[in-house]
């Protein structure tokens, strides 16, 4: 009977773990940390390129998730999106505070693409939006990829991108918009293919 | 987009939606774009789709093993004590939910808490500022959970803790005219569960809510009015 009253931690959804954390369940927090630490640290490290800074960011992000689990609103997006956005924002703050140099967006994209370990057409059968976006990112023109990564990951405005890339503001806006629209089209195409 | 686009003036904001979704639009441009989105369902939908893609972009970063000792330092900082680390399977926690996150968020919004370690108390139905009504679920004189009703498209949520409910149970509401309405069935694990579902009667008409076992025994009742 013991077997029936137990479940593998992997059986619980992210939402279930977060709900447990919201009511102070330490076991839920432990499972959540173990599930997310590689992604959280990976994002922080990909952005900062510094293991020490990345650890500070990742630890603070996880601590905030634990502390703020009760205010997570599933209607606003997924748990992964919430956790990684917290991480991203902390990494941006850390880079600004320390006046550190962020990794080049091409390095971020390259690491992301290498982590996919498959070609773009594989994205559809795998059925993961991350795979689809990763694959679509890989086929964007490099200037559009840089622009959308600078905006989405590094939190740069179009004006900041125009200055850092040495291009007119209108061009920066166009690159950001075109890149995001192409990524969206890829996601819609993949979802359409999955839905038959 | 055609005529609708012209009617809402969408073309002025087409370029801003991407930056809005990416969170990189600021100042007056952001305020103007948000104002437009609030009044334009088409652009609101477009923004939602773009935001979903923008959120996914943050998630494509590679996974990287943290440095040695990361987990120990983190748990210490969080004030969390892991149980037996080699024990990869654990008991069904008391909060295992069906749609727990939604219910938990709702409960927080209502200022509700449920813990098994505190002494149970029974309190009267409460109405929040946004018209949501909540009431304790009572089993043998003790509070074992909470129900809440509300919304313009009515919903009902229920949270159970330390109840005698086991397995699949039914949730019913009794309206003021004495009619019983089945709302749905859900799984209570070891007396715990959280659940949220559409309600097909007006929340104001609900007199009580009940958790009922498959044999028809009323396990817990919440009285609303």
Specify the pLDDT at position B125: 56
- CA dist B138 and B143 (Å) reads 5
Contact A177 B52 (CB under 8 A): no
B75 Cβ neighbours under 8 A, 6+ residues apart: A30, A33, B81, B82
Task: Report the gap between the CA of A143 and the closest CA in chain B (Å).
Answer: 16
- Between B2 and A188, the more confident residue is A188
- pLDDT tens-place string over residues B152-211: 667 777 777 778 888 888 889 998 888 888 887 777 777 777 666 677 888 888 889 999
Tell me where in chain B the CATH 2.60.40 domain(s) lie. Answer: 100-223
Does B166 lie at the interface with A, CB-CB under 8 angstroms? no
- pLDDT tens-place string over residues B4-62: 544 557 888 878 899 999 988 888 888 999 999 998 999 999 999 999 999 999 999 88
Specify the pLDDT at position B8: 57
Please check whether residue B175 is in contact with residue B205, taking contact to mean a CB–CB distance below 8 angstroms.
yes
Please check whether residue B200 is in contact with residue B125, taking contact to mean a CB–CB distance below 8 angstroms.
no
* Domains annotated on chain A, with CATH: 12-97 (1.10.1740.10), 105-195 (1.10.10.10)
- CA dist A154 and A177 (Å) reads 16
Specify the pLDDT at position A195: 64
The beta-carbon neighbor of A42 closest among B18, B54, B62 is B62
| pLDDT at residue B73 greater than cutoff 90 | yes
- pLDDT tens-place string over residues A131-181: 888 888 888 899 999 999 999 999 899 999 999 999 999 999 999 999 999
Specify the pLDDT at position B167: 81
- Which of B166-170's residues contact partners 24+ apart within 8 Å by CB, and which partners? B166/B190, B166/B191, B167/B214, B168/B214, B169/B211, B169/B212, B169/B213, B169/B214, B169/B219, B170/B211, B170/B212, B170/B213, B170/B214
The beta-carbon neighbor of A133 closest among B18, B53, B190 is B53
Q: Which of residues 174-193 of B touch A (CB under 8 A)?
A: 190
Please check whether residue A18 is in contact with residue A79, taking contact to mean a CB–CB distance below 8 angstroms.
yes
Contact A153 B71 (CB under 8 A): no
Instruction: Say which residue the tokens 């956790």 belong to.
Output: A83
Task: Report the gap between the CA of B46 and the closest CA in chain A (Å).
Answer: 10
- CA dist B28 and B51 (Å) reads 20
Specify the pLDDT at position A196: 60
- CA dist B39 and A157 (Å) reads 25
Q: In chain B, what residues touch A5 (CB-CB under 8 Å)?
A: 91-92, 190
Please check whether residue B157 is in contact with residue B196, taking contact to mean a CB–CB distance below 8 angstroms.
yes
Selected from 1.10.3470, 2.60.40, 3.30.465, 3.30.70, the CATH number assigned to the domain covering B100-223 reads 2.60.40
- CA dist B16 and B47 (Å) reads 10
Q: How many helices (H) and strands (E) does chain B have?
A: 6, 10
The beta-carbon neighbor of A80 closest among B59, B73, B103 is B59
Specify the pLDDT at position A60: 96
- pLDDT tens-place string over residues A86-126: 999 999 999 888 766 777 888 888 887 777 654 444 333 34
Specify the pLDDT at position B159: 74
Interface ipTM = 0.85
Please check whether residue A155 is in contact with residue B26, taking contact to mean a CB–CB distance below 8 angstroms.
no
Q: In chain B, what residues touch A148 (CB-CB under 8 Å)?
A: 22, 57
Interface mutation vs chain B, best among A13, A22, A91, most B CBs within 10 Å:
A22
Contact A70 B104 (CB under 8 A): yes
Q: In chain B, what residues touch A80 (CB-CB under 8 Å)?
A: 59
Contact B61 A22 (CB under 8 A): no
| pLDDT at residue B92 greater than cutoff 60 | no
Q: What average pLDDT score do residues A52-61 get? A: 95
Q: In chain A, what residues touch B92 (CB-CB under 8 Å)?
A: 5-7
Three-state secondary structure readout of chain B: CHHHHHHHCHHHCHHHHHHHHHCCCCHHHHHHHHHHHHHCHHHHHHHHHHHHHHHHHHCCCCCCCCCCCHHHHHHHHHCCCCCCCCCCEEECCCCCCCCHHHHHHHHHHHCCCCCCCCCCCCCCCEECCCCCEEEEEEECCEEEEEEEEECCCCEEEEEECCCCCCEEEEEEEEECCCCEEEEEEEEEECCEEEEEEECCCCHHHEEEEEEECCCCCEEEEEECC
- Length of chain A equals 196
Structure tokens at A86: 């917290």
User: What is the distance between the terminal CA atoms of chain B, rounded to a whole angstrom?
Assistant: 50
Average per-residue pLDDT for chain A:
83
Q: From residue B141, how far is each of B44, B123, B148 by CA, in Å?
A: 48, 11, 19
A189 by Cβ neighbours in 10 Å (0-12 / 13-18 / 19+) ranks as middle
- CA dist B154 and A119 (Å) reads 46
């Amino acid at each position: 009977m013991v077997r029936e009253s137990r479940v593998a931690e992997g059986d619980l959804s992210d939402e279930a773990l977060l709900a447990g954390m919201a009511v102070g369940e330490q076991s839920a927090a432990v499972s959540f940390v173990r599930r997310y630490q590689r992604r959280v640290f990976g994002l922080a490290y990909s952005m900062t390129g510094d293991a020490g800074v990345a650890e500070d960011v990742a630890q603070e992000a996880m601590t905030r998730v634990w502390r703020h689990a009760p205010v997570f609103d599933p209607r606003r997006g997924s748990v992964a999106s919430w956790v990684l956005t917290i991480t991203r924002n902390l990494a941006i703050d850390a880079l600004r505070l320390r006046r550190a140099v962020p990794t080049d967006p091409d390095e971020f994209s390259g690491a992301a693409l290498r982590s996919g370990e498959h070609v773009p057409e594989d994205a559809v059968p795998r059925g993961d939006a991350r795979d689809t976006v990763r694959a679509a990112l890989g086929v964007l023109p490099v200037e559009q990829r840089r622009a959308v990564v600078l905006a989405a990951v590094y939190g740069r405005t179009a004006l900041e991108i125009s200055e850092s890339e040495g291009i007119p503001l209108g061009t920066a806006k166009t690159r950001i918009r075109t890149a995001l629209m192409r990524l969206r089209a890829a996601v819609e195409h993949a979802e359409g293919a999955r839905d038959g | 987009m055609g005529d609708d686009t012209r009617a809402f003036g969408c073309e002025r904001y087409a370029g801003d939606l991407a930056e809005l979704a990416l969170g990189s639009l600021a100042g007056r441009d952001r305020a103007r774009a948000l104002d437009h989105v609030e009044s334009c369902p088409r652009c609101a939908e477009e923004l939602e789709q773009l935001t979903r893609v923008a959120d996914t972009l943050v998630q494509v970063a590679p996974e990287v093993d943290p440095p040695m000792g990361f987990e120990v330092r983190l748990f210490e900082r969080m004030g969390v004590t892991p149980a037996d680390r080699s024990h990869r399977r654990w008991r069904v926690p008391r909060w295992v939910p069906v749609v727990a996150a939604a219910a938990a968020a709702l409960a927080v919004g209502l200022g509700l808490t449920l813990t098994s370690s505190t002494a149970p108390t029974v309190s009267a139905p409460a109405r929040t500022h946004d018209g949501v009504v909540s009431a304790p679920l009572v089993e043998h004189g003790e509070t074992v959970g909470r129900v809440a009703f509300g919304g313009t498209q009515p919903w009902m949520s229920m949270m159970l803790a330390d109840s005698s409910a086991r397995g699949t149970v039914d949730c019913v509401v009794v309206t003021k005219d004495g009619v019983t309405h089945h709302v749905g069935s859900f799984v209570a694990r070891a007396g715990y569960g959280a659940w949220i579902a559409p309600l097909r009667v007006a929340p104001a008409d609900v007199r009580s809510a009940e958790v009922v076992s498959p044999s028809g025994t009323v396990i817990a009742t919440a009285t609303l009015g």
